[in-house]
Amino acid sequence: MKTKELIKSTGATFTPKGLADYLTSRILSYVDREDVSVLDPACGDGELLLSMGEHLAARNIDFILNGYDLNNEYLSIAKERSYQFGELKIKLVNGDFLEVVDINHNQLALNFFGAKANGINESVDIVIANPPYVRTQILGTEQAQLLAQKFDLKGRVDLYYPFLIAMTASLKKGGIIGVITSNRYLSTKSGESVRKFLNENFEILEIVDLGDTKLFDAAVLPAIFIGRKRGNAKTISDAAKFIKIYEELNGYNGDLKPAANIYEVLDTSDSGYFNVNGKRFKKTDGVLICRTTKGYSWELLSDSESLWVNKIDNNASCLVGDLFKVRVGIKTTADKVFINDEWDKLGTEKPEVSLLKDLISQENIGRWGTTAKATLQILYPHYNKDGNKTTIDIEQFPKAKKYFEKFEARLKERKYLIDAGRKWFELWVPHNPDFWNLPKLVFPDISLSPRFYFDEGGKLVNGNCYWIVAEMKESVEKLLLIQGVSNSKLMTKYHDLVFNNKLYSGRRRYFTQYVERYPLPDCNSPISQAIIEIVKKLNTENNARKITLLEEQLEIKVAEAFGVSPIFKLD
């Protein structure tokens, strides 16, 4: 048999047996038939099909296992592993499942039985799958365009989305699908089309957000979707169960329930905190709320969590997005050329000082100020002339010209910039040069904790951060209110519950779509004014003890503004 080392050398990631068995058992809890046909459209080494066959045989259910994969070496492993079921029970095909699906005619050319039989839509009772999690764009322009046309895809989408469409077409009405995908579609704006598709085509039975449990070697955080194919499309979902489980990194010191592994945690009816081999995990379960309102994600909250979130929402006066636009920072598309923390080492070849601007970046931003970890500057060849963003005349800056010319070949590789009629030494996204001198709130895209920093020093913002600018003087205090609320533990808890988008090791994403939906109290209320005054002190205080005391006062006032108890420690 081929070894796992051969498989790993290709970059493929397959489902571990424990996860395969868990998914199989959950799917079969909804199956009540004496014979079934099963499909895995990207079966790899056959782990999911093998698990399904073993469980069905143990239940004395007759079955046929159908599998597709592009890699014949993987299929040879799957065939060898499945000989125990007999040749008549396993049909494996070396081919691209997405190519043979006839979506336009609502028909599948599965061809599991060779030329003697016609494969049609609604041909299988169960789909079990762990499809690829890659962007369609990495397949190459031609293949990506073909997929987009066939499956009516728009923009940057993951490959599992066309797989979901094709797998749905293969299922009989009332058939069960159990699929492992990235969990991103549960909460992101880009996942809205996936949520809509699943909600319309399935009675959603279970969602299991596996979070950062690292059950298998994948760069993304996985989730399980289990659904029953509807007889007719509906836009209102039935009640569904959810489980979510994440490593506990907030310092919880309460009681822990022992568990041998994550699967034991998933199988138990208990929720709460668990100790798994020395690591702490928090498991939450409840009823999934599938919001269909545009811009809103599905809600994976327990009853108590939902009450808390609703109380904050009901006591809010507005959202951040009602007051400001959240922008992503500068995009150079050639950071190593434009950004440096050692410009002085160039000596006489250093570009003109007037073009070097201080830069706020992921590396040097703090909660109430910048840090000394990295003193970054960006070579910024733009300015504002008569109200219009303008690129410098490079002939007027001979040192910058000489510097750019050293990287001319690299910069001219940015064909998209040249095709847009831009100068080869420009930034791809420089923003409005006049905005940099205005008061602004800056925060990193990825961070363990909130770091919303108020800048009045004219710094520029790197593309790994977002920023909110006060274009009018009267908007400055609103920025300070947002800073205070956003840096609070209360809003961190709200962020975790509502947007449910943590990465590995407890890191959080601070997308535009999330921060624009942060609730705010009435900006003119006495409580908001008190928050603003505390924030002003925090932005100028350097004493660590005084900062701690001020942050405690901030938590009390933010909680009071939303009518809930203050949070001094995240659970």
Angstrom distances, CA of residue 16 to CA of 23, 44, 182, 218, 252: 11, 12, 16, 11, 30
What does the pLDDT read at residue 119? 55
Q: Give me the half-sphere count of Cα atoms (radius 13 Å) on the Cβ side of residue 306.
A: 12
3-state secondary structure of 160: helix
> Residue holding tokens 């259910």?
61
Q: Say if residues 218 and 15 touch (Cβ distance below 8 Å).
A: no
What's the whole-model pTM score?
0.83
Q: Say if residues 412 and 418 touch (Cβ distance below 8 Å).
A: yes
As a whole number of angstroms, the distance between CA 305 and CA 494 comes to 9
Strand residues in 315-381 grouped as ranges (E): 318-319, 327-328, 339-340, 356-360, 377-379
Q: Name the amino acid, one letter, at 142.
A: E
As a whole number of angstroms, the distance between CA 481 and CA 529 comes to 8
3-state secondary structure of 110: coil
Tokens representing residue 433 in the block: 């040069």
> Using DSSP, how many helices (H) and how many strands (E) does the chain show?
20, 27
Burial class (CB in 10 A: 0-12, 13-18, 19+), 348: exposed
Q: Say if residues 129 and 167 touch (Cβ distance below 8 Å).
A: yes
Through-space distance between the first and last CA atoms of the chain, rounded to whole angstroms: 47
> DSSP label at 568?
S
As a whole number of angstroms, the distance between CA 445 and CA 264 comes to 34
As a whole number of angstroms, the distance between CA 164 and CA 247 comes to 28
As a whole number of angstroms, the distance between CA 382 and CA 379 comes to 9
Angstrom distances, CA of residue 20 to CA of 50, 224, 539: 9, 11, 51
Sequence-separated (6 or more) residues with CB below 8 Å from residue 95? 68, 70
As a whole number of angstroms, the distance between CA 333 and CA 335 comes to 6
> Residue holding tokens 């959950």?
26
Could you count the other beta carbons within 10 Å of the beta carbon of residue 469? 23
What does the pLDDT read at residue 147? 63
Return per-residue pLDDT of the chain as tens, 571 residues: 333 443 334 445 678 999 999 999 999 999 999 999 999 999 999 999 999 999 999 999 999 999 999 889 999 999 999 888 888 899 999 988 887 766 654 433 444 444 333 354 678 999 999 987 655 544 555 565 666 666 666 656 667 788 888 899 889 999 999 999 988 888 888 788 888 889 989 999 999 999 998 887 767 789 999 999 998 655 454 678 999 999 988 778 889 999 999 999 999 999 999 999 999 999 999 998 887 667 677 888 988 999 999 999 999 999 999 999 999 999 999 999 999 999 999 999 999 999 999 999 998 999 998 876 668 999 999 999 988 899 999 999 999 999 999 999 999 999 999 999 999 999 999 999 999 999 999 999 999 999 999 999 999 999 999 999 999 999 999 999 999 999 999 999 999 999 887 877 788 999 899 999 999 999 999 999 999 999 999 999 999 999 999 999 999 999 999 999 999 988 7
3-state secondary structure of 508: strand
Q: Say if residues 95 and 8 touch (Cβ distance below 8 Å).
A: no
Cα radius of gyration rounded to whole Å, the chain: 27
> DSSP label at 10?
T
Nearest to 30 by CA among 198, 226, 171, 298: 226
What does the pLDDT read at residue 348? 93
Residues in the chain: 571
Sequence-separated (6 or more) residues with CB below 8 Å from residue 553? 534
Q: Say if residues 259 and 274 touch (Cβ distance below 8 Å).
A: yes
Nearest 5°: the CA angle 358, 364, 368 is: 100
3-state secondary structure of 537: helix
Q: Say if residues 308 and 562 touch (Cβ distance below 8 Å).
A: no
Q: At what angle do helices 476-486 and 489-499 cross, to 10 degrees?
A: 70
Nearest to 558 by CA among 515, 527, 535, 537: 527
As a whole number of angstroms, the distance between CA 212 and CA 262 comes to 11
The phi, psi pair for 288, rounded to 5°, reads -70, 135
What does the pLDDT read at residue 560? 98
Q: Name the amino acid, one letter, at 258.
A: P
Burial class (CB in 10 A: 0-12, 13-18, 19+), 369: middle
As a whole number of angstroms, the distance between CA 98 and CA 211 comes to 28
Beta bridge partners of 273: 282
Tokens representing residue 526 in the block: 């006495």
As a whole number of angstroms, the distance between CA 245 and CA 183 comes to 12
Q: Say if residues 65 and 20 touch (Cβ distance below 8 Å).
A: no
Q: Which helix (H) or strand (E) holds 400?
A: helix 398-406
Nearest to 328 by CA among 281, 296, 290, 361: 361
The phi, psi pair for 483, rounded to 5°, reads -60, -45
What does the pLDDT read at residue 256? 93
DSSP code per residue over 435-493: GGGS-EEEEESEESS---EEE-S--EEBTTEEEEE--SGGGHHHHHHHHHHHTSHHHHH
Q: What is the pLDDT of residues 28-82, one digit of tens each?
A: 999 999 999 999 999 999 999 999 999 999 999 999 999 999 889 999 999 999 8
